[in-house]
């Protein structure tokens, strides 16, 4: 499998990272060599093996449905780039 | 004082031979002198540290001290600490201060320890050389032209240079063990789920684990007593009885079976590292241990598996840095998408962006099964390798890293060669096992070599025992780099 | 050309838990912006999700109520996309292994329309999964910017997905209403559509009648009233048919319904290549539920609307329509049965006719009539819910008892009902105070009838010459003279005799 410049741009857009043309070229070279490394995996026959998502074979713990988080808007918004009337402001969202 | 163990410091404090205030001042002064050359700390705040030291002194005076009360520790800047900046080595979080403490920070606070400052690290813990930090490279105290390893390079350098008695680190693919090896200190990555990840800024959730970085196994054991424990705020935190990690330190090693994976002593291992590790194994034989040849056949695959799984999780974990609620927002932008793209392009460094791109790609439509699912299946094979191996031995040993510390800049333009340097550490994270690095000598350039000890799940106390007995018989862990600027 | 409409619905029902699905922040509606958004909801660095057990319990309750299989192991996954109301940059949801698996059905009652009869139909439920709600974007002008309120972020949802089993907007609305009634019935969702607790997405396509393959569908998002659901589907069906008949093709896309203009339009923001990169959430472990847990929830389920409806039909011989109305809400059905029990406890004689073979069936019918008609319309006019009815079930039973034992006529009963509604007391007290007791004294009735007959000789002659219709005239006159209090059955009988001469 070989990566194309279009792939790089598509991924960058999905990840919301702006890349210029020359940057995209650089990514293409680096990512291609990394995927060369990753290709080694494809040679192994893994049929019948259960994918392993967690290191421990444990199940989800359940929390009681009781309010434990007080209002801390002021502390949380102290680090926000732009707020007004308790709202986070972003460039206009068009639906 | 600089070379005192945690136990010795604890005794000095308890005996009022020194106050926490004086101790903290001593280390702050040393940081002041030596940090400019090493760049081990991102944030030092003498006022805050000394206030904690005063409180510790009061607690000691009131007779309510715990073992670590009053001892200053450096905290990796990946742990959120209220009223401190928590940058994770990134421009994205350069001005971020969390309104909560990480579980690890809470535990140290509860013990009455002093936060001596936040240590430098690879950006979002992505790196093996500590060259990706927005706050600049960290230098190896043994040779400032060389890397200290990463991603917990700041903590490693700080402990090695005696800028702090001990520090915390986190390890996703070797980020405690590899820098510990490269600067000649002792580091432990516990079994996944032992230390809560709450408030520890996520890189790869299924692999990240915090642990101690100190000068000796005994110090690591004392820190584990503080750091480990169930926390309901982390769904992957394991509900286990609290244990005393020092309990087995003095057990003799007679009859210990040490597994030596042939894959860890194969091509790619530098001769000087091999020699130091072999010498350590001889020492263990003298201590009554026996060595067994074992095989971890999928070792080689652990690198591609890791570089699929960790970036996949990271690409999603780092999606929250969008310039909306906190963190960096680009000063100029057009519409919403442009705001996202510019903030993330400017806020993240090249290595982080590279990994986000890899992760985004391997999860994208049409590639998920071939990459992500295949990697998860191989992850199981890798874990099964260890399961088989531990039927033949009690611990596994080998080198922590294939070479001693490399030159700054040597690998920074070649991500693949950088990734390959994690070959011996990564599989341990994939399996979720505990792993340690212990100083075991020096290579050709006078640079430290680390011996890796891998144990079965929850075998930390055993591993600490194995390391401690070795440290009673050797003095590699007491060697100290000579730094310019020292009197 | 004959077109067939094919509709599948995806319904988001907010689970009425006290806290969020993955955090301990409150879910109460209407709080000041961002005061119920904690560090986890805001996706601050390093914080982690912890799952709320009430969400699982309510989702399982739903699955059991529709007879679906429950997955013993279900998995939370991340759906990755960027949107300012989605703080983590991914929505935690279930994809491969949802909590509620296949096998569920919901029986709907489709009302008669101009052309067709009422009928029943089973709609298959494909699956139902748990996920977190997003925050809200407020588009009022903040210097040309949008404000983000994350109070709703992390509210637990169950998304209920049907097979494409519906064939008209009427069926879709009947399904949505039945589902809406069910989620409230089993106590998992408050069903408040204005507040967005229950919202539907409709997948609509058309095909030539008789063909098997599905047409290209459009998804209309966020329909938060039954009326909008109906209108949006109707508009969309017209649009698609016109498009195809004009030689065009339907493009698969997400559309938004604009109620002001009564049309759907393409949602451009959702149109760019969606690649959600789902993968199991590494911060959450698999959710495992045991057989015992499922049985515990099953045994605590109330009698379900479908079963209750069938029981009302079988046990009380209620017409299907009445049974359907009475089981549209659990509180209404409970009120009906409480009234009936209370009435029966007072003893209702042994009046049997072919229409009412038992006293119980008679009592059920009269109770149903009063609950469905008089009480419901009074509640409706006063915008009250059944639980807030000023007339309790026991009080209503007191009134019905007096109708049944002929103390008052049905007509007088309405007057008594109005007085009771206004808080003038129990039925007996009202009857007493207002002197509304029915006249059943045959002597008194005869006296009234004699006077009426004497006063209307012309009508009497006409009646006797065969103009039977005039009987009604005499009944009316006699009733009027008795101020409505004459026992109607007695009055009829005596009048018939007297008129016959």
Asked, for residue C288, whether it belongs to a domain, the answer is: no
Q: What is the mean pLDDT of chain B?
A: 96
State residue C454's pLDDT score.
87
State residue C349's pLDDT score.
66
Mutate to test the interface with A, among C285, C287, C296 (most CBs of A within 10 A): C285
Question: Count of CB atoms within 10 A of residue B298's CB?
Answer: 21
- pLDDT of B301 higher than 50: yes
Which residues of chain A does C287 touch, with a Cβ-Cβ cutoff of 8 Å?
A: 59-60
- From A78's Cα to the closest Cα of chain C, the distance in A is 12
Look at phi and psi of residue B136 and say left if phi exceeds 0, alpha if psi is from -120 to 50, else beta.
Answer: left
Residue C174: enclosing H or E segment and its boundaries?
Answer: helix C169-185
Q: How many domains does chain C have?
A: 3
List the single range of A81-90, B197-206, B383-392, C135-144 with lowest mean pLDDT.
C135-144
More confident call, A95 vs C490: C490
Q: What is the mean pLDDT of residues B386-413?
A: 96
Asked, for residue C284, whether it belongs to a domain, the answer is: no
> Based on the domain organization, do C450 and C427 belong to the same domain?
no
List the single range of B256-265, B287-296, B422-431, C260-269 with lowest mean pLDDT.
C260-269
The percentage of residues in chain B with a pLDDT greater than 90, rounded to a whole number, is: 95
Q: How many domains does chain B have?
A: 1
SS3 B457: coil
State residue C4's pLDDT score.
96
- pLDDT of B486 higher than 60: no
Q: What CATH number does the domain containing B48 carry? A: 3.90.1300.10
Q: Domain boundary at C218, C243, C277, which?
A: C277
> Based on the domain organization, do C453 and C383 belong to the same domain?
no
- From A53's Cα to the closest Cα of chain C, the distance in A is 7
More confident call, A1 vs A42: A42
> Based on the domain organization, do C408 and C462 belong to the same domain?
no
State residue C448's pLDDT score.
86
Burial level of A48, CB count in 10 A (0-12/13-18/19+)? exposed
Look at phi and psi of residue C67 and say left if phi exceeds 0, alpha if psi is from -120 to 50, else beta.
Answer: left
State residue B487's pLDDT score.
42
Q: Tell me whether the omega of the peptide bond preceding residue C184 falls within 30 degrees of 0, making it cis.
A: no
pLDDT in tens, B11-36: 999 999 999 999 999 999 999 999 99
- Parallel, antiparallel or unpaired: strands C76-80 and C90-94: antiparallel
Q: Domain boundary at C261, C277, C293, which?
A: C277
Asked, for residue C133, whether it belongs to a domain, the answer is: yes
> Based on the domain organization, do C42 and C154 belong to the same domain?
yes
3-class secondary structure per residue, C221-243: EEECCHHHHHHHHHHHHHHHHHH
Domain range for B129: 6-256+468-478
- pLDDT of B291 higher than 90: yes
> Based on the domain organization, do C454 and C430 belong to the same domain?
no
> Based on the domain organization, do C141 and C231 belong to the same domain?
yes
A48 touches chain C (CB under 8 A): no
Give the pair of three-digit tokens for residue B12: 């000095």
Asked, for residue B46, whether it belongs to a domain, the answer is: yes
> Based on the domain organization, do C151 and C227 belong to the same domain?
yes
Burial level of B416, CB count in 10 A (0-12/13-18/19+)? middle
Asked, for residue B340, whether it belongs to a domain, the answer is: no
* ipTM of the complex model: 0.96
C286:A77 CB<8 A: no
Query: What is the rounded CA–CA span in Å between residue C355 and residue C352?
Result: 8
State residue C33's pLDDT score.
97
Asked, for residue B252, whether it belongs to a domain, the answer is: yes
Taking CA atoms, what residue in C is nearest to B324? C84
Asked, for residue C55, whether it belongs to a domain, the answer is: yes
Query: What is the rounded CA–CA span in Å between residue C349 and residue C452?
Result: 33
Query: What is the rounded CA–CA span in Å between residue B188 and residue B455?
Result: 11
Which residues of chain B does C33 touch, with a Cβ-Cβ cutoff of 8 Å?
A: none
pLDDT in tens, B263-276: 999 989 999 999 99
> Based on the domain organization, do C144 and C32 belong to the same domain?
yes
C142 touches chain B (CB under 8 A): no
State residue C269's pLDDT score.
55
Query: What is the rounded CA–CA span in Å between residue B112 and residue B72?
Result: 9
Burial code (b: 16+ CB inside 10 Å, e: under 16) for B28-42 equals: bebbeebbeebbbbb
State residue C352's pLDDT score.
58
Taking CA atoms, what residue in A is nearest to B309? A53
pLDDT in tens, B79-122: 999 999 999 999 999 999 999 999 999 999 999 999 999 999 99
Asked, for residue C297, whether it belongs to a domain, the answer is: no
CA distances to B170, C364, C366 from C358, rounded to whole Å, are: 79, 10, 13
**The Cα angle at residue C50 between residues C274 and B230, in degrees rounded to 5:** 135
Q: What CATH number does the domain containing C449 carry? A: 1.10.10.410
State residue B82's pLDDT score.
97
> Based on the domain organization, do C430 and C452 belong to the same domain?
no
Phi, psi of B131, deg, nearest 5? -105, -5
CA distances to B35, B123, B372, B418, C250 from B129, rounded to whole Å, are: 17, 11, 26, 8, 55
- Parallel, antiparallel or unpaired: strands C104-110 and A87-91: unpaired
> Based on the domain organization, do C345 and C456 belong to the same domain?
no
Residue where the block lists tokens 């034989």: B285
Domain range for C484: 442-500
Asked, for residue B20, whether it belongs to a domain, the answer is: yes
Query: What is the rounded CA–CA span in Å between residue C425 and residue C271?
Result: 62
Asked, for residue C289, whether it belongs to a domain, the answer is: no
> Based on the domain organization, do C418 and C397 belong to the same domain?
yes
- From C415's Cα to the closest Cα of chain A, the distance in A is 49
Asked, for residue B474, whether it belongs to a domain, the answer is: yes
A4 touches chain C (CB under 8 A): no
Contact assessment for residue B173 and residue B227, using Cβ atoms and an 8 Å cutoff: no
Q: Domain boundary at C409, C434, C459, which?
A: C434
Kindly report the pTM of this predicted structure.
0.92
Which residues of chain B does A53 touch, with a Cβ-Cβ cutoff of 8 Å?
A: 206, 376
- pLDDT of B485 higher than 60: no
Which residues of chain A does C288 touch, with a Cβ-Cβ cutoff of 8 Å?
A: 59-60
A85:C19 CB<8 A: no
State residue C114's pLDDT score.
76
Asked, for residue C213, whether it belongs to a domain, the answer is: yes
State residue B400's pLDDT score.
98
Which residues of chain C does A84 touch, with a Cβ-Cβ cutoff of 8 Å?
A: 142, 147
Which residues of chain B does C279 touch, with a Cβ-Cβ cutoff of 8 Å?
A: 312, 316, 363, 368, 372
- From C284's Cα to the closest Cα of chain B, the distance in A is 6
Q: What is the mean pLDDT of residues B363-376?
A: 94
> Based on the domain organization, do C421 and C454 belong to the same domain?
no
Taking CA atoms, what residue in A is nearest to C58? A65
Mutate to test the interface with C, among A7, A54, A64, A73 (most CBs of C within 10 A): A73
- From C24's Cα to the closest Cα of chain A, the distance in A is 5
Query: Along the 501 residues of chain C, how does pLDDT read in single tens digits?
Result: 799 999 999 999 999 999 999 999 999 999 999 999 999 999 999 999 999 999 999 999 999 999 999 999 999 999 999 999 999 999 999 999 999 999 999 999 898 887 788 899 999 999 999 999 999 999 877 888 999 999 999 999 999 999 999 999 999 999 999 999 999 999 999 999 999 999 999 999 999 999 989 999 999 999 999 999 999 999 999 999 999 999 999 999 999 999 999 999 998 655 456 799 999 999 999 999 999 999 999 999 999 999 999 999 999 999 988 999 999 999 999 999 999 999 999 887 655 566 677 788 889 999 999 999 999 999 999 999 999 999 999 999 999 998 888 788 888 899 999 999 999 999 999 988 887 777 777 788 888 888 888 888 888 888 888 888 888 888 888 888 887 777 777 888 888 888 887
Q: What is the mean pLDDT of residues B228-239?
A: 97
Asked, for residue C363, whether it belongs to a domain, the answer is: yes
**The Cα angle at residue A11 between residues A32 and B133, in degrees rounded to 5:** 75
Phi, psi of B259, deg, nearest 5? -85, 130
A75 touches chain C (CB under 8 A): no
A90:C23 CB<8 A: no
């Amino acid at each position: 499998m070989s990566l194309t410049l279009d792939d790089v741009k598509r991924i960058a857009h999905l990840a919301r990272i702006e890349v210029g043309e020359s940057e995209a070229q650089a990514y293409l070279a680096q990512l291609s060599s990394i995927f060369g490394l990753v290709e080694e995996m494809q040679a192994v026959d893994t049929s019948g093996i259960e994918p392993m998502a967690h290191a421990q074979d444990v199940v989800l713990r359940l929390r009681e449905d009781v309010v434990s988080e007080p209002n801390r808007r002021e502390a949380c918004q102290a680090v926000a780039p732009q707020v007004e009337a308790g709202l986070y402001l972003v460039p206009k969202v068009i639906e | 004082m600089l070379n005192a163990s945690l136990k010795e410091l604890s005794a000095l404090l308890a005996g009022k031979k020194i106050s926490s205030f004086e101790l903290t001042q001593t280390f702050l002064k040393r940081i002041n002198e030596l940090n400019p050359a090493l760049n081990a700390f991102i944030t030092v705040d003498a006022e805050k540290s000394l206030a904690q030291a005063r409180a510790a002194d009061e607690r000691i005076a009131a007779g309510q001290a715990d073992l670590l009360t009053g001892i200053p520790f450096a905290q990796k800047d990946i742990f959120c600490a209220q009223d401190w900046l928590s940058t994770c080595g990134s421009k994205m979080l350069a001005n971020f201060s969390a309104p909560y403490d990480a579980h690890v920070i809470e535990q140290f606070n509860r013990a009455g320890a002093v936060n001596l400052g936040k240590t430098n690290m690879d950006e979002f813990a992505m790196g093996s050389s500590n060259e990706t930090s927005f706050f600049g490279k960290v230098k190896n105290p043994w040779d400032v032209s060389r890397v200290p390893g990463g991603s917990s390079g700041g903590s490693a350098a700080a402990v090695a240079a005696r800028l702090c008695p001990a520090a915390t680190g986190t390890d996703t693919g070797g980020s405690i063990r590899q820098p510990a090896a490269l600067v000649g200190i002792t580091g432990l990555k516990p079994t996944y789920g032992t230390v809560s990840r709450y408030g520890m800024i996520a890189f790869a959730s299924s692999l990240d684990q915090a642990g101690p970085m100190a000068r000796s196994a005994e110090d690591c054991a004392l820190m584990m007593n503080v750091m480990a424990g169930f926390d309901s705020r982390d769904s992957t935190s394991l509900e286990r009885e609290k244990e005393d990690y020092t309990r087995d330190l003095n057990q003799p090693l007679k009859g210990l079976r040490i597994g030596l994976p042939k894959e860890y002593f194969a091509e790619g291992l530098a001769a000087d590292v091999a020699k130091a590790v072999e010498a350590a194994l001889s020492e263990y034989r003298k201590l009554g241990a026996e060595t067994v040849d074992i095989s971890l056949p999928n070792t080689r695959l652990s690198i591609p598996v890791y570089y699929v799984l960790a970036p996949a999780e990271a690409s999603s974990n780092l999606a929250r840095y969008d310039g909306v609620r906190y963190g960096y927002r680009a000063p100029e932008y057009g519409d919403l998408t442009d705001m996202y793209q510019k903030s993330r392009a400017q806020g993240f460094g090249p290595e982080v962006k590279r990994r986000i791109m890899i992760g985004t790609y391997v999860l994208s439509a049409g590639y998920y099964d071939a990459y992500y699912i295949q990697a998860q299946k191989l992850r199981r094979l890798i874990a099964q390798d260890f399961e088989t191996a531990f039927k033949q031995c009690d611990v596994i040993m080998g080198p922590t890293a294939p070479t001693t510390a490399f030159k700054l800049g040597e690998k920074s333009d070649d991500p693949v060669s950088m990734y390959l340097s994690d070959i011996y550490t990564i599989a341990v994270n994939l399996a979720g096992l505990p792993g340690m690095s212990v100083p075991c000598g020096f290579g050709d350039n006078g640079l430290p070599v680390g011996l890796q000890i891998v144990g079965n799940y929850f075998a930390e106390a055993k591993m600490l025992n194995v390391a401690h007995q070795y440290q009673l018989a050797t003095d590699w862990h007491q060697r100290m780099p000579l730094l310019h600027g020292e009197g | 050309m004959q077109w067939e409409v094919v509709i599948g619905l995806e319904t988001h029902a907010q689970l009425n838990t006290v806290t969020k699905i993955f955090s301990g922040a409150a879910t109460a509606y209407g709080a000041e912006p961002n005061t119920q958004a904690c560090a986890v909801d805001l996706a601050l660095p390093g914080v982690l999700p912890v799952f709320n057990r009430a969400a699982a319990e309510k989702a399982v309750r739903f699955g059991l109520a529709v007879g679906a299989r429950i997955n013993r192991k279900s998995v939370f996954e991340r759906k990755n996309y960027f949107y300012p109301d989605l703080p983590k940059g991914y929505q935690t949801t279930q994809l491969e292994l949802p909590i509620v698996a296949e096998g569920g059905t919901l029986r709907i009652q489709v009302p008669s329309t101009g052309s067709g009869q009422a009928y029943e139909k089973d709609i298959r439920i494909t699956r139902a999964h748990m996920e977190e709600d997003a925050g809200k974007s407020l588009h009022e002008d903040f210097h040309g910017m949008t404000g983000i309120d994350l109070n709703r972020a992390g509210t637990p949802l169950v998304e209920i997905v049907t097979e494409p089993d519906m064939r008209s907007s009427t069926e879709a609305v009947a399904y949505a209403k039945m589902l809406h009634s069910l989620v409230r019935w089993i106590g998992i969702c408050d069903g408040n559509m204005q507040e967005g607790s229950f919202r539907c997405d409709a997948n609509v396509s058309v095909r030539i009648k008789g063909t098997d393959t599905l047409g290209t569908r459009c998804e209309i998002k966020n329909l938060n009233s039954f009326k909008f659901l109906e209108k949006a589907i109707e508009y969309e069906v017209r649009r698609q048919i016109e498009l195809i008949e004009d030689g065009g093709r339907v493009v698969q896309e997400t559309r938004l319904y604009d109620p002001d203009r009564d049309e759907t339009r393409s949602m451009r923001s959702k149109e760019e290549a969606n690649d959600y990169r789902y993968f199991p959430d590494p911060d959450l472990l698999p959710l495992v539920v045991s057989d015992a847990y499922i049985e515990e929830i099953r045994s605590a389920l109330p009698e379900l609307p479908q079963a209750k409806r069938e029981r009302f039909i079988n046990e009380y011989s209620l017409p299907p329509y009445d049974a359907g109305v009475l089981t549209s809400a659990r509180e209404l059905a409970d009120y009906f049965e409480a009234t009936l029990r209370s009435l029966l406890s007072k003893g209702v004689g042994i009046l049997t006719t072919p229409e009412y073979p038992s006293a119980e069936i008679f009592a059920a019918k009269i109770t149903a009539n009063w609950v469905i008609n008089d009480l419901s319309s009074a509640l409706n006019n006063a915008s009250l819910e059944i639980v807030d009815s000023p007339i309790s079930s026991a009080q209503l039973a007191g009134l019905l008892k007096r109708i049944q034992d002929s103390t008052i006529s049905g007509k007088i009963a309405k007057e008594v009902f109005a007085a009771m509604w206004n808080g003038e007391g129990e039925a007996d007290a009202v009857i007493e105070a207002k002197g509304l007791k029915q006249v059943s004294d045959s002597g008194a009735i005869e006296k009234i009838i004699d006077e009426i007959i004497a006063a209307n000789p012309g009508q009497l002659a006409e009646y006797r010459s065969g103009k039977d219709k005039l009987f009604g005239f005499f009944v009316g006159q006699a009733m009027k003279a008795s101020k409505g209090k004459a026992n109607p059955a007695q009055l009829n009988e005596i009048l018939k005799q007297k008129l016959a001469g």
